Structure 1
Amino acid sequence: MKNRRIAVFVAAPYKTYAHEITSGMFEAAKKRGVTLCVFSVLSEANIETQSVNIGEAAIINLPDLKKFDAIILMKSTILNPIALNYIDEIIDDAGDVPLISICCDVENAYNIYFDEYTGIAALAKHFVEVHGKKKFCYVGGPVGNKVADNCLLAFKQSMEDLGITISDSEIYRGNYMRESGAAAAEYFIKSGQHPEAILCTNDDMALGVSDYLSDVGIKIPEEIAIAGEDATKEAAIHVPSITSVLRPTRKLGMRAVETALDLLDGKKIHRDQSFETEMVIGNSCGCGKVDESCETNYIKFLTKERDRFTKDHYAGVTFNTYLSGAEDMNDLRNRLSTVVEQFAIRRLYVCVSESHLSEQPNPGSFSARIDLPHSNFGNMRLIFGYDGKRVLSRKSFASTDLLPDMEDHEGESLVFCSMYSLNRNYGYVVFDAADISEFMFRSFCQTLATAVENLCLHFAVQNYAKQLEQLYIRDTLTGLLNRRGYVQCADELFEKARNRKKGFMVLSADIDFLKSINDNYGHKEGDVAISSLAACLKRVARPQDICVHLSGDEFMVLGIDYTQADMEQFISSVYTEIDRFNVISDKPYKLAASLGGTVCVPDADTTLEYLTNVADNAMYTEKKLHHQGCPESMR
């Protein structure tokens, strides 16, 4: 049976809530032999910087969803507005592919969510009936976030069921971060709300509330009781321990994968599936006494977290210094080999857009900006790959394949993240789902992106140096060599003709009546005439010939291995091209030019200056013939 492949879209899967759900998915996928590809926005927050939001969101557009059997959305974890727009496009384009949405009602999707009311209602009832609380404030999640909105509705309904009315001033919408919990508590206290209890939509914000109240000398729970949701480990051992609501996050993640597979097997599934939540009693509501061991355990926890943070910070700084010192792609590969071993990374693939690795001048390679509404990773190159056993050789592949030899990854769970700097998309990093951690997202991916950016910029600088050199010697109007280019290239071609004893052609060309075109139709039309003659010369010239726009109406062509007959044919062909231009052009004037030249096999006494004068004289003789009978104003 064909291996099934499921795409998952999420933000910041290292955060507790998303991590628990995705862990459940990985467990179910491994059990059922399913390939799980997680496309993750690095941060859960809306950075509110357009360029960063674009860079973060690019990964959403990486997969070709026609190559997936099912899609799981964790839209509620994503606050990035551009990523959300991309997700909405995925929903619209899903077609018959089973679409499972977690904790966010999506039309035509199979929605799996928590019954927030059960746990929150139990919490509210406990605070009112057991502890006699009547004055509540609530710290919710971001406006527009479905989980946050549902929790707020559940809170309001449970308060209403208990006969308590909640005003808008008693509600603060945070961003799930601990700092916003502290900011909410400060707002409630300073605005004179005087709550008896503060309920929060997650434990991190409840801990932030606790931080602020403790700092200003307000006792918990004697003066203000608090509660959160998620029942995290830190909340459980905090002093006082936080009364909370337990969500069966891991089970929900497993159910999402199982639902997708059941649908693919043709089973009938209810459109909406819910998991009940339940209250977990701590000390922050006023229940029980603080166990003496709690403080000791919490100190141990904080010490462990401090040590982990210090270790990650040190690793991040070391990692940043080490990778940013890479001199070229080979050096980066060698350094990544060391990093993989040092950090015991299970699998790692670094994929960079081919456009950034080309040494050929490419005006787009330096900026390579991601344009809305779609980003295109294009052709990729695996600059580093480690499959858990060996370092892989570099390969080129299409981004729609995700990885070279993707079929070798059947049954694996892989995480894909953008490598970007501001709004420049350099490619993406892929690693094993088991390696999900804050370090991998915040230190590893971002530092790796910086290292790749430095090398890509190095390539870009080389490219731009070549382009600047071309700009220095080329005329921007015609694309031909300018006088500086002539000085650089003419002597070399002349010496080649002399050394090889080949016929050397010097052709002089001049636009007729250019002054009349400028005076009667404007200099813009004069530029059209100049560029049109340049195009005629380029079409007739041989690949090795040198075509030069000296200035204004003056041109020159130098060529090697010419005879007198070849030159005459050259001139005739240019006149034919001019006639063809005049036939198809809708210009109110006729393009005309005078051409003259000379051909000789240079010897030791022949100079380029001499040949140039001969060619100019021949051209001016031709020009006099063209001007006979013309009014003075046209000359």
Structure 2
Amino acid sequence: MKKKIALLTTGWSCEYIFAVLDGIKKAVSSDEVDLYLFICYGYYDETKAFNHGEYNIFSLAHYEDFDGVILFSNIFNSIEVLEREKARIIASKTPVISLEYKLDGIDYIGTDNYSGMYEITEHLISVHGLRDLAFIGGPDDNSESLDRKRAFLDAMAAHHLTPDEKNIITGGNWSYDFGYDQMLKMIRESKKLPEGIVCVNDEGTLGAITCLHKNGIRVPRDIVVVGFDDTQSAAAFTPSISTVNRNWSELGVKAIEHLNKLINKEPVEPVEMLKSSAVFRQSCGCVSEQDEVQKNNSLDLFHQQRVTLSFNRHVRHLQEYFIEETEPSSLWSQIQHYLKEHHEFEGDEFCILMERSSMPEEINVEERAKRKDGYSEELLKTVHIKDQQIQKSEIVYSRELIPKGMNDDRNNLYMFVPFHFQDQVIGYFVNKNSTSLIENRFCYDWSKGISNGFTLFYQKYLYTLTNKELTTLYMKDAMTGLFNRLGYKKLAYEFFQENRDKQEHTVIIFADINYMKGINDQFGHLHGDLAIKTVAEILQQAFPSDWLGFRYGGDEYLYIGSGQDEEVVDQYCSNASTNLERRAKRMSLPYHLSISIGYQIVRPQTDLTLDEAVKLADETMYRHKEEFHSLRKEL
């Protein structure tokens, strides 16, 4: 039986995830293992509600169902969430390791951040003779960030150098924007820039160098800038960035080796450290010529621009369906048929699973509470593409994670991405053996495009339902539940014309309560109201459910239906009178309750209008009423 290993991460550090994942896949290639990658985009600067919706994808993992768990702890971007998931995993007694971030009670594999940062700082001082250095750091609660800052300060202290306090910048968030903004602030506020900038990571370094370039300051001619991580972007950038290599792929290999020992209950040291080492390139002045990576970068950049244009067009097409479609069934049908032909980013097999309560046809308009924590036991598979074929919609149990038939005998990688609006759960996406969305940095925009598109459709559909409900309320008589005169104007004429267009007969039935004034005068309006409601109930039971019923006036009723001959209509009317007589006897009313009925059958070839037909039915009813009154007088 194949092992199941859960991998939990955020998706912002694409190169890191991809490199570690590459090592993990290499390490399991000779074993029978399925990898379940739960990925989200929680971030420091996002709202609490948004982050709640993102991190909710981790609740999909029932850790007791897995053989092992690997936490990409250093890029979780939330200590609270990390501690929550750690507690759940420990409670499940499932073997677990943490990457690049130490957690109490969990085995740890990480990079020696200190040695690499010390080495590159020492290099700037000893080889390039720099004395005035600044440091742009990361989050204050992140151990990697703190280790790198400590190494920088220790290397400076070893040469009896003390950096200017205002040039030790902390509280960062690993982003390009933070590096850019802090560099711009330094340029504007400093009379003289430092000789060199040491950045906590390559992403921030890219931002800092770009800012310097836009302000006419050249690297490394005017100032030296170095980073940490040795990303592909750092190598391809101009100037290429001197940085620190962290052996990410090897980290993935070691993670699986360590986890297997825990699974097999073999002895293993709880902490493993991989060395980091400095890589010297153009940004510190060690290299002047472009290497092959930089030369190919322009080609790669052009290719990526084309891919990005294709992706943006792809997401736009999907969003157009959410905007244009008006019914849930047609929406998902259109999306399925589109994705059948266009799924270069989603992979060869993938599914969209939705909370049934988030589907408009499941909505109770009066109870619109949304799920915010976890996922329901049952979800609806709205899209499933496999081998370029649409698979049937079905219910999927969330604990099973994927639909039946998606698994096979191969080693597979399943990627799970949440759909949500703020903290409200919509569903999730799962694909098989494709990391294209991660590699191209599209996963965030793709998942948000689907989530926002569906939310727009949901709200639009809900608005339509609400409007229909309000319109119905305006057209309904509060006492009887039948349509009122406004309902008659909006529905009856259209119904009449549709029957004529279909060459069908239209039946117009007019009914009126006998002696209604006497009931009100002698027994009061409460009895009058009771009589009106009782007759309405009897008529609703007597005539077909697809006929339109109206309270036409105070004690007048109008029914409009399709395609019946006189014999059938006579029987309907007779049943109504008979049933009312029986009901009145059971109710022991102190008065006689009965109705007079008249009808008109309008054939499609006649020129008779609806109003004319109603008038004829009313006249017939009135003749019957006179006959009834005459008979009562004789008695």
> Counterpart in 1 of 2:565?
none
**Could you report, residue by residue, the CA deviation over 1:338-358 in whole angstroms, capped at 9, with x for unpaired residues?**
112x66933322223334545
Q: Distance in 2 between matches of 1:70 and 1:395?
A: 29
Letter in 1 for 2:195: E
Match of 1:347 among 349, 353, 362: 349
Corresponding residue for residue 253 of structure 1: 252
Name the CA shift for 1:383/1:285 in 2 (closer, same or farther; >3 Å): closer
Equivalence for 1:521: none
Q: TM-score, normalised by structure 2?
A: 0.72
| Larger mean Cα displacement after TM superposition, 427-436 or 444-453 | 444-453
Q: State the 1:268 CA deviation.
A: 3.1
Shift of 1:129: 3.2
Shift of residue 138, structure 1, vs aligned partner = 0.8
Aligned to 2:186: 188
* Mapping for residues 329-348 of structure 1, pairs under 5 Å: 329-340=332-343, 345-348=347-350
Q: Is 1:27 matched up with 2:26?
A: yes
The alpha carbon displacement at 1:58 in A equals: 3.8
Q: Tell me how far apart the structure 1 counterparts of residues 593 and 227 of structure 2 sit (CA, whole Å).
A: 90
Picking from 428, 440, 460, the partner of 1:438 is 440
Pair 1:602–1:304, CA change in 2 (3 A): same
Describe the shift of the 1:275–1:188 C-alpha distance in structure 2 as closer, same or farther (beyond 3 A).
Answer: same
Looking at structure 1, the residues matched to 352 and 451 of structure 2 have their Cα atoms a distance apart, in angstroms, of: 10
Aligned residue for 1:585? none
Counterpart position of 2:428: 428
Structure-to-structure mapping, 1:46-445, within 5 angstroms: 46-50=44-48, 52-79=50-77, 85-94=80-89, 95=91, 96-166=93-163, 168-172=165-169, 173-192=171-190, 194-221=193-220, 223-286=222-285, 288=286, 290-294=287-291, 297=292, 300-326=295-321, 327=325, 328=330, 329-340=332-343, 345-357=347-359, 359=361, 362-363=364-365, 372-374=372-374, 376=376, 378-387=378-387, 390-405=389-404, 408-409=407-408, 411-421=411-421, 425-431=425-431, 432-435=433-436, 436-438=438-440, 440-442=442-444, 444-445=446-447
- Alpha-carbon distance in structure 1 between the residues aligned to 2:95 and 2:382: 31
Relative to structure 1, the CA distance from residue 373 to residue 427 in structure 2 (aligned partners, 3 Å threshold; closer, same or farther) is: closer
In the alignment, is the contact (CA less than 8 A) between 1:384 and 1:394 conserved in 2? yes
For residues 456 and 125 of structure 1, the distance between their equivalents in structure 2, rounded to whole angstroms, comes to: 58
How far apart, CA to CA, are the structure 2 residues paired with 1:141 and 1:179? Answer: 12
Distance 1:344 1:462, change over 3 A: closer
Aligned residue for 2:594, secondary structure, equals strand
Deviation at 1:229, TM superposition (A): 0.8
The structural deviation recorded for 1:246 is 0.9
CA distance in 2, matches of 1:28, 1:490: 72
CA distance in 1, matches of 2:620, 2:38: 66
Distance verdict in 2 for CA 1:112–1:168, change over 3 Å:
farther
State percent identity of aligned pairs: 20
CA contact (8 A) 2:381 2:394 kept: yes
- Once residues 472 and 425 of structure 1 are traced to their aligned partners in structure 2, the CA distance between those partners, rounded to angstroms, is 33
Q: What is the CA–CA distance in structure 1 between the aligned matches of 2:587 and 2:66, rounded to whole Å?
A: 58
The alpha carbon displacement at 1:434 in A equals: 3.6
CA distance in 2, matches of 1:486, 1:233: 70
Distance 2:256 2:591 in 1: 77
- 1:200 CA displacement: 1.0
Matched to 1:413, the amino acid is L
Cα distance, 1:38 vs. partner? 1.1
In 2, the alpha carbon distance for the partners of 1:225 and 1:408 equals 52
CA spacing shift, 1:602–1:239, aligned 2, 3 Å:
closer
Post-superposition CA distance 1:309-334 (Å, at most 9, x none): 32023202331343344453222222
Change (3 A) 1:32 1:500: same
Matched residue of 2:407: which SS? helix
Contact 2:73 2:99 in 1 (8 A): yes
Instruction: Give 1:500 deviation, angstroms.
Output: 11
Partner residue in 1 for 2:628: none
The structure-2 alpha-carbon separation of the partners of 1:608 and 1:428, relative to structure 1 and needing over 3 Å to count, comes to: farther
Instruction: Give the whole-Å Cα distance in 2 for the aligned partners of 1:490 and 1:232.
Output: 70
Quick one: distance in 2 between partners of 1:254 and 1:69?
17
Matched, 1:597 2:593: yes
Following TM superposition, by how much is the alpha carbon of 1:467 offset from its aligned partner in structure 2, in angstroms?
2.8
Partner Cα distance (2:225, 2:492) in 1: 84
Aligned to 1:522: none
Deviations 1:373-423 (A, max 9, x none): 556585222423225x64433322233322211672563101111234555
Closer, same or farther: CA 251–485 of 1 in aligned 2, 3 Å: same
Contact preservation (8 Å) 2:238, 2:294: no
> Structure 1 residues 312, 554: closer, same or farther in 2, change over 3 A?
farther
Q: Which residue matches 2:469?
A: 467
Q: C-alpha displacement at 1:336, in angstroms?
A: 0.8
Partner Cα distance (1:596, 1:407) in 2:
70
Could you tell me which residue of structure 2 aligns to residue 623 of structure 1?
none
How many Å separate the matches in 2 of 1:164 and 1:470? Answer: 79
Residues matched between the structures, number: 569
In terms of mean alpha carbon deviation, does 352-361 or 104-113 score higher?
A: 352-361
Please, what is the CA RMSD of the aligned residues?
5.1
Farther off after superposition, 101-110 or 562-571: 562-571
1:85, CA displacement in angstroms? 4.7
Deviation at 1:307, TM superposition (A): 0.6
Unpaired stretches in structure 1, ≥5 consecutive residues: 493-498, 516-529, 576-592, 615-635
TM-score by length of 1: 0.72
Instruction: Provide the secondary structure at the position in 2 that maps to 1:35.
Output: strand
Q: Which amino acid aligns with 1:72?
A: I
CA distance, structure 2, for counterparts of residue 282 and residue 331 of structure 1: 51
Hey, what's the Cα distance between the residues in 2 that align with 1:222 and 1:17?
30
Q: 1:13 to 1:136 in 2, by over 3 A?
A: closer
Q: Which runs of 5+ in 2 are unaligned?
A: 496-505, 560-571, 601-615, 626-635
1:93 corresponds to which letter in structure 2?
R
The alpha-carbon distance between structure 1 residues 200 and 483, as it changes in their structure 2 partners (threshold 3 A), is same
Distance 1:400 1:594, change over 3 A: farther
Does structure 1 retain, via aligned residues, the 8 Å contact 2:197–2:224?
Answer: yes
Whole-Å Cα distance in 2 between the matches of residues 34 and 198 of structure 1? 44
Deviations 1:259-286 (A, max 9, x none): 3332222223333222221122234334
SS at match of 2:57: helix
Q: Is the 8 A contact 1:117 1:158 kept in 2?
A: no
1:252 CA drift (Å): 1.4
Task: Give SS of 2:257's match.
Answer: helix
Task: Please say if residues 511 and 558 of structure 2, whose CA atoms lie closer than 8 Å, have aligned partners that are also in contact.
Answer: no
Deviations 1:492-517 (A, max 9, x none): 9xxxxxx999999969999x9999xx
Between the aligned partners of 1:132 and 1:350, the Cα distance in structure 2 is 57
Q: Which amino acid aligns with 2:305?
A: T
Displacement after TM superposition at 1:443 (Å)? 5.0
- Give yes or no for contact 1:18–1:77 (8 Å, CA) kept in 2: no
Q: 1:312 to 1:420 in 2, by over 3 A?
A: farther
Contact 1:20 1:249 (C-alpha < 8 Å) held by counterparts: yes
Report the Cα offset of residue 13 of structure 1: 5.9
- What pairs with 1:527-538 in structure 2 (closer than 5 Å)? none
Q: How far apart are 1:26 and its partner, in Å? A: 3.0
CA change 1:321–1:217 in 2 (3 A) is closer
Deviation at 1:133, TM superposition (A): 3.0
Distance 2:125 2:117 in 1: 12
